[in-house]
Amino acid sequence: MKMVFTIFNSLIASIITTLIILTVSFLIMLFSSAKDGYRTTFFGSIFFSSKPALDGSTSLSFGLANPIPIYIAIAILFVFFLFLFHFSKKRLTK
């Protein structure tokens, strides 16, 4: 049961860490350029598009372009947190 708890905590920690990384990279991309157009961040997984409309307003859209880099980041962070939690418990019990 302890191993299931460690796996669950590692999964949650990796998802939360990935979401924080995605949010920070999106905000950096959003405010890094004042030009209109199509931009991507985090290895092309998130996009932001801004286009001026005919009436002078600006049309904005953003979303998920390619989820594969996000899945890879979650998997890598999951393994990292799994080792971190496993070895920290092992070290604390000695």
Q: What is the DSSP string of the chain?
A: -HHHHHHHHHHHHHHHHHHHHHHHHHHHHHHH----EEEEETTTTEEEEEEE-TTS-EEEEEEES--HHHHHHHHHHHHHHHHHHHHHHHHHH-
Is residue 2 included in any domain, yes or no?
no
Is residue 88 included in any domain, yes or no?
yes
Res 94: pLDDT: 65
Is residue 1 included in any domain, yes or no?
no
Is residue 5 included in any domain, yes or no?
no
Res 43: pLDDT: 94
Tell me the pLDDT of the chain (94 aa) as tens digits.
888 999 999 999 999 999 999 999 999 998 887 788 899 999 999 999 988 888 888 888 999 999 999 999 999 999 999 999 888 877 777 6
Is residue 3 included in any domain, yes or no?
no
Res 34: pLDDT: 75
Give the domain extent around 79: 10-93
Domain count, the chain: 1
pTM for this model (two decimals): 0.85
Is residue 43 included in any domain, yes or no?
yes
